[in-house]
Structures are given as structure tokens and as C-alpha cells.
Structure 1
Amino acid sequence: MKKLLLSFILISSYYSGQAPAGYYDGTTGLTGYALKSKLHDIISAKNINWNYSDLTNYYNQTDLDKYYDHDATNTTLLLDMYSEIPTAADAYEYTTANIIGSANAEGLGWNREHMMPQSTFYSNYPMYSDLFFVVPTDARINQLRSNYPYGIVGSTIYYTFTNSSRIGNSAIPGSTYTGRVYEPINEFKGDIARSLLYFAVRYEGKLGTFNFNNNVNPASDTNPLDGTEERSFDPAYIAMLLQWHNMDPVSQKEIDRNNAVYNLQKNRNPFIDNPTWINAIWGQTPDSAAPQSATNLTVTQNSAYFTTLSWTPSSSTDVIGYKIYQNGTLVASTKGNSISIDHLTPSTTYNFTVKTYDSGYLLSSDSNTASITTLASDIYAKDIMVTKYLEGSSNNKALEITNKTGHTVNLSDYRLSIQFPSGSNYYFPDPYELEGVIQNNETAVILNPNANFSCFTINQAKFVTAAPQMTFTGSNYLELRYKNTTVDAIGVSSTSNSSVLANVSLYRKANINQPTTTFNVNEWDSYASDYCQNLGTLSASDVVLAKNNQLKIYPNPVHDNIFVNGKVENVKNTQISDLSGKLFYSEKNPFKNKNGISVQNLPAGIYLLQLDGEVYKFIKK
């Protein structure tokens, strides 16, 4: 039967009833790339990332064909967009049992198709198993599609498949790419466009590290990503996706799938919930005038391994970010007007400049130059480090990463790698990439989604993944890497560590304040399997107390309410813990409508108040 199409008006009102209450808070009034970044923050905040092997069974929840040849009673047959014939009986159909590796003809079996090819993100997690763009498709068509982009086929056609989808040379209007593309049938063009645009939102902040524009000749570059975090795709490709989105509105199948994936991953495709957001983000027309430069670039903090820069924002109205150059080389970008540049070398001179860029990706001239010579040494850790390793019963696997570097750390270039045995050899499977930021004096817990610890829940973890890195058995070597460089290590590579790492909880000793690439068990305290006291919190001996004068707390000692003086409206996260690390209070944007925190229910004692990573000690009477 024909796919049920719902109008944009119905969908726009429908999404609020499908997404949890408050899920899209903060999006009102936003347009353009500011809206895209806000949606990224929302859908990336709390995900459950499953193992690639888990997807096969999950397709019985997300991808059953209840819309065409079948109805709601179908509990076995998969919906395959590459072979589905919407107006007639399909030439072949599959259950999850029909999964195969490859095929030399249509109809022999199915396998998992990455709508954004694996080569884009090097097959790394969490992208590798994201249900929103990894779907079941016919194995032969999947194989022939290879890593070709979706597109519009021109006059040269190489393959036409049973439902009339086809592979041929590209005829995408305005595109320089002339290689092969896969063109789906009209029924699913909107579905595919919304999936790719989800990818652009979900992985904003990482898109520039992905594989794009690797070919000298743009005509043969199969990847439509353009290296930008905001626009994400080549302009001609964006225009095609918008056309597909508008011609093929959201269907009931997409709404149902969005809800089913949310039940599994705990995030949503915002463009199924609210289709108008696509045109609100990518329908803008940038101007042709380069933005004004940032001014007053200054160094606000200097240390041995990092420096913090700030500047007066550009006066232009269409600014979307700033690019930071270190000795003339681009090293970072930010939407704000301050940033910490890390991985510097002690006792070394650096020159920094900033360029403004706008929605048309036009660059301003350079700001003034800020020069620094890093300190010979400091009190901070030179990088983030693993501070807890929990290898418990069944799937009770957890890691805690701590930032004691003295500054906020961007996690986009960090990843976890694990080593598995293969006969008499060892290999590293696909890494798990971290994302977001970790504040100074903050911990981030990475948890297996099937863990069942008595003192820590899935909702408390910053990262939840069943990637190979969180399936360690106690005999595996684990690494925390920055780009391709090992930062911290647990265990010894190419050996069995079962006597040290099996069925234990390892806690880094309080006097160890630097990561190391050579594992030393003497740096760790060992506890029994499943022990997890104070996981995700720092004790007094772990933190560096605030040394800046930007915020002041009073009174101290305190009876009922502790107040903070300064720019409290900028504080995003606060916690109160005792000296053992036990957490008593946590709140986001705590000073939105007040300038104090009630502590009247706290027992008398000494506590730590953490404000965006800066820690203040106070006494409760």
C-alpha cells in the first residue's frame, strides 16, 4: 500500500508529543547554524552506543515492513529501502536470519548499510553502529554501492535494480563530482536526506577530522563532506538534500523508526520530529562581505603545556566562529571568544592569531598577534588520564577519565583503543572516539550499557558504549590516545595481564597526577570485583583549588545558603561533594534565576563547591 505522508503542519505539531517533554528546550527562536549547534548539543548529550553486532537483532524493533506489502502484524520481514517496491509486491524479502557477508546477485540476503560510508569515519565507534544511518539493505546492492555517495544519476547508467533504484555517473546540479552515485527511488529520497543531515548534526565537532576531499581531482572525490562543522556538505550536495527532503515529506515509517531508535539509543533525529528545521538551518543565503576581525587578542593564562587566549568578538552580525592559528598553522576553532590551546611544549615561544569566519565561510584578516613563552613547569597534569578501571562480573565494565590539566579539554581528538589476541598475535579493533568537553577538575565515566553496578547508573555516565573497548576481560591492553599518540595506558601491550587486570577495580593513587604510556601497577590501588565507590567524583586530594579571582563565595563558614559573587550567569555546571568525593548536590545553570545555593540540609563538615571545574572549599556549620 502507498506510504502514508503527513503534512509539515501535522509533523510540526506532532513532534512535541513524540519527543520527551523538554527534549528540545533552548531551540525556540534559533535559526541557521546556531540552531544546528543547539540540536547537536541536545542529541549528543546522552546516547547509548551499541556494538555493531547488536544491530542485527535491533532491526526487529526498528526496521520491520509494516507499511507496504504488510501491516502492523508483520513481526519478521525487514523493510529494505534499496529493494522495496511501494506499489507492488517486492521481488524478494528478508528476515534478520538472512544476513550474509556478500552476494553476486540481488535477493540472496541482506547486510548492514552505512548510509554515510564507513570510510568517512574510518569505521570508528560510535559512528560505526549508529542506528540512525546504519540500515538493513540487500547485500548485492550494498556491495555495488560501495562508498559512492547518494546522488542524481545522469545519462550513463551502470546498474538498475528491481525497484528502479540505480547506479550511474553523477548529474547533481552544480557539483564538480562526475563519478558514480547511487540514486534511490523517490519514495525514500527524503528518508535518506534526513538521515544524512542527522549525521551532520550528530557529529558536528568531528566532521573536520573525517575523511573528505582526499582526492586532488574533485571530479573523483566520492565524499560530499566539505570539512566544515556547520554547513557540513558541499553546497551543491546540500541543495540536492534539501530538494529531496522537500519533495518526500516525513512518513509514518520514519516517525515510528525515530521512536524505536530513541528507545534503544536515547537520542532522536530532530528532522523527523520537526522537518521545518532543515530549511531553517540550511536555507540561509550568506552575504558576500568578509567579516570584521576580532580585536584585543590576549593571553589570560599561561602554563607549561597550555595557554588560554581571549579576544573581543568581531562586530559583524553573521559571525559563526573563530579560527586560531599557532605560528601560522590552524590548530583550533571555536564559536566563543576564548579558548585553551594545549599540547604545547614547556619553555617554548608561540605566536597566536585569530581569524573570524562567517556563514559564507569568508575569513577576516588576522587579529593582532599574542606571543607567549610557556613555563618550564607547572602544577597541572600535562594531559587527561585514566583514574579508575573497573573489571567486574558479566558486563560490569567502566573507565573513569579525569581532567587535572588546569583548563577545559576538547575531547574530539581523543579515543580509546583496546588490544585483542588473535591466535599468537594481537590486533587493535576499531577505536571508540570521545566527544564534547571535560572541564578542569571534572571526571567522565565510560560505561558498558549492560553494566549493573550497585553505586553507579547508566544515566550518570558521560559515555555509554558497547564498543569493543568496553568489553575488556582483564587480559586486554587499553590505551587512551590523543589523535594517534598514546597518552595513558592500562596493562602491557602484546601480553596477558590477567593476573593484574582480571576481576578487579583499580583506582589511581592520589599522588599520581600525570598520565603515563608505561603501565605501573604500583600507581594503582586494587579493590575487589564490582567495587565502585566514588566513581565519577573527585576527592579533596584529587582537585586543584581555584586560584583565580573571577568568582568569590560567601559566607564561609556557612549556615543555610552559600552565595557566589561575580559573573555567575556564565556558570553552566555546579556540584557539592565532601572530602571523600561523595556527591551531595548537582545542578546545571544553577544561577539562572538566583545567586545562591541552599546547603541547609548538609551535615556539618568541610565540602568542595565545584563551579565549571573551579573548586572552592567551604565549611558547613
Structure 2
Amino acid sequence: MKRTLLPFLLIFTFINVFSQAPANYYNGTAGLSGAALKTKLSQIITAGHIDNGYNGLWTAYSTTDRDKTYENDNTILDIYSENPNGQDPYTFNFGTNQCGNYSNEGDCYNREHIVPQSLFNDATPMKSDVHFVRATDGKVNNYRDSYPFGLVANASYTSQNGSKLGTSASLGYTGTVFEPINEFKGDIARMIFYFVTRYESKLSTFTSGDMLGGSAFPGLQTWELNQLLAWHNQDPVSQAEVLRNNASYTFQGNRNPFIDNPSFVDLIWGSQTVDTEAPTAATNLIANNPTSNSIALSWTAATDNIAVTSYEIYANGILKATVSGTSTTVTGLAPLTQYTFYVIAKDAAGNSSPQSNNAVETTLDGPVGGSCGTENFSSIPTSPTTPAYDTRTWSNNNITWTATDARIDQTINGKAINIRNGNLTSSTISGGIGSLTVTTKLPFSDTAGNLILQINGNNVDTIPFNTSVTTTTISNINIPNNIVIKIVNSETGKRISIDDLSWTCYTTPLSTSETNKEKSIFTIYPNPVKNNELFVKGENLNKISKAQIYDLSGKLIETIESPFKTSNKINLKGLAKGNYILKTDNSSTKFIVE
């Protein structure tokens, strides 16, 4: 539910009125700035800090992490499931849904260290400091792992409220980052500013985690500092933060100064100009090379005052992919469907460009065949690494994959998924399947054997594996319409790596004439065609509802409704010389135009 924002003036008069900080709490900070102000604040918030222990956090959450500002239903306020503009996907009740074990998002909440505890070796009092240890969904916390916070270019995981894990779009960093929704970006920034201020004297002994600095000032790596400053400016202090700060003070005896007085941020680290300039529109968008379920796109790059970090690809108004380059292939499309594409450029601050020009292309008919999809496992999650075997879920090319009892640390040609006593399963894929190709290898000391390939739950063939890299193609699968691909390891205990999976579309066998139960037989003449007229001879021609002409690349040239209702010929005027296929309701045949 959308929160009611605090009046602007209240936000800046909260030290004595709203936040309930003691009147003299920030004595000695007047006139200070930079490192001196940071050190003075560190002294203030260190004095009075009571360490109530790690288990004490469970008690703290009874007052610090309750929803009193959104739904106001007193459930746990979880930044990874809260939907500020509508109904939450799920809620947690205090105590009842507390846990350490989970399988899925929404199972339970646990304790998340916004600054990972691995960076300070699980030491106290950091480990139990409620100001930066939040009650969050256990599964999402697990996905976030120990990654720094930043903007995501290409997401490998997205939580139910839109928090994302993926490759960085933040300037100055190219690793994996975690991005909360906009509602909580400022919250995250101010919690980290608290940490590097409260523990500035210890920073030189901590691991950086690609986020912390190695000295008291500035305390953060440059790229992370710039990103957090931007988030701090874009997402001002909320009522939820104020209430949490007050409750944390009551529980722990110290405060977060950057919630009490946001201007401390600029006084210490300097004012950062918020980037409000949007990129220009991408130009020269071209759509080509259609198959029955994919279309290739390319365009000329947009420009930005700082940098373009990603492009969002839309098909018929629906977001289909986010990429960092200036070309991509959109998959998962429906056969014989016209799509209008456009591209929107994004910069690191999240500014969006105007739409590019539109590019229109039509997918091919499913029976014509062509590549339907690929999976190279480049988007498999990089965590958790423990336990080694777990359920792994990721999305790529608009297909969601789930691997059970799987590990992620093995490679063949780049990343690979390794299955022990589980399986690899796709979401529903359009276009059917003609053949499938996959590469396998035994990375450990196991004996050779076979995986089972299932389509729509039915066994269709086996895939061999051994200690060598083995690429197998299974032909003549020929299953139309929507499919689910499943590769099953039924050989207990054997650990098989899988890579470079691809499949072709379903293809209807073509022949010069076919007969159905109504004896709809036809032949064409003359062949080669002359004078742009193709004649058809046969029975029940007037019952044929549609004729389609394809070139041999599979591109649909023309569709003719009720082609033989009044005549037995088709006018091919304008058709270039070459080889073509005429496909009707029940038959297909080749012909030549001279």
C-alpha cells in the first residue's frame, strides 16, 4: 500500500520534534565537516551503544521491524517483499514466521546484515547491531548473499517485489550486485553510512567485499560511495525509517545520525549532483532474421551526459529483455505473429530515454522450422555455493530454468550446471521441437551412463555422458505447439555437467502431395511456373481455407485466404525467380518460378 509521505518541513525539523533524539545528542558537531564530522559522529553513536547479543535481534524486531506505515498491519516490514504501491505478495507475522531454514521465497524471515558479516568475520558488536541488521525474507537474503548494493543491468534473479540480483550497471563496477526497489534505496544507503561511521576505527581490519574502504575516511570504495550518495538523494528519509530509528535507540542506546539529520551525508562526503538528464533515444532500430519464435534486433547506441548502462527491449509494448549492448535476439515469440519493437536506453541513475523508432517484423510459421532457442547457462546464479547441491532457478531468453540437486561451480564451455540426483526443467516454450543438442561431461570420478530426455513429461530419448566432453544431437523429436524440456539424471549419485543446450523448431514433413481423409489431393502445373500463374488441380479445392507461400529460408511471402473459391490458379505477379513452397491446409509442395 502506498505510504503517506511526511510533510516536507517535518523531515527537516525532526531532530527535536519528530525523531525524538535527546536535545543535546549531537552536541559538538556544529561547524564540522568531512572526516572531522564523521569521527565526531562515530564517537557520539559509539557512546551508549549496548550490545544485546545476536539472539537479541529477534526481540528487537518486535518493535523495530513492524509495518506501521504501509499496510499498518503490524506484520514484519520486509524490504524485499513490501509492495509500496499495492498488495504485498506475502507477509510475515512476528515470531511465528521466524526461522533459519527455508526453501522458497515467502517461507520465513531471518536476520540480514546489510553489510555482510563475512566482511568483519562475524565479530561483535557488528554482528548484532540492529541499525544495519534487518528482518528480511530468508530466501531473498540467501540470493543477495554477500554482494554489494548497486544498479542491475541484467538480472539473474528478481524477487516478488522487484528486488534484483545481476550484473552491475553502476559506474566503476562490473561485478555482481543486488538492487532493492526504489522505495528502499535511500534506507540501504543510510544504513551503510551508519556502519562506516560507527565502525570507522575498525575498517582497516575488515574485508572490503568490493564495497568498504580500507580507511576511516571516506570509508567506502569510490563506486559504492557514489551509488549510495545518489540513492540517498533520490530516496529521502521516510516515516518508516524514523520509527525504526527511534525503536532501535530504545533497544540499543544509539541512533543513526543520517536519519536524524540527512544533511550530515553531504557535509561528510560532499554534495553529489543528482543526474536528472536522460539519455537520447536509440536510433536506426532494425528487426530481421525471423524464425518461428525469435527475431534479431540491432540499433545505433544512445548517448548520455555520463553513460548509457543498459537498453530495455519492448515487443508490442511488453518488456522482453534488458541488455548492455546494441544488438540482441528476442526469443519466446509466437509463430506467425507481427511484432512491433522499440528500445529504451537507461543510465546509471535510472533515467529513461524516449522510445527509439519502431521496427516491425513477423515471425515465421511454426512448421517451417528454424532455431527455437538456446541455453548456455551464463545466467545461472553464482550463489549460494553452500550447500554445494541445491535448487537453482534462473531466467534467460524469456525462459525460466529450474535445476534440482544441482551445483554451480563446474564448467565446460563457460558456465555449466551440474546435476546429481535431480533434473533440469524449462518453463513452457512455444514453437515445438524438432531436434535437441546438448553437451555433457563427468567432472568427477563417476562412470559413464545416460541422462533421460523428456518432452512434456514423456521419455523421448537418452543423452550419453562420460569423462570426455560429449555433444549429442537427438533428431526427429517432432513435437508441435508448447513444450517443456526436462533432462533427468536417474543414475543415483553420478554428477553430470550440462552445457550448450539448443533445440530447433517443430517442422511438418513436406511432400509433393498428401492425402487426408477427405481425399484433398492436388498437384500444381506448370512447374517451373511461367507467366506468373500457378495452376492447381485436385479434388475439394474449394474447401481449402488458406494457402501460404514461403521461400526456402522459411520466410513467409504471402497468405491467401480461400485461394480456390472461384478459381484454380494463384497469381504470382511480383514473385522473384527462385524456389518456393506452397502450403495449404493439408499439403505442401515445392515449385520454381522462372
Same fold by TM (over 0.5)? no
Normalising by structure 1, report the TM-score.
0.42
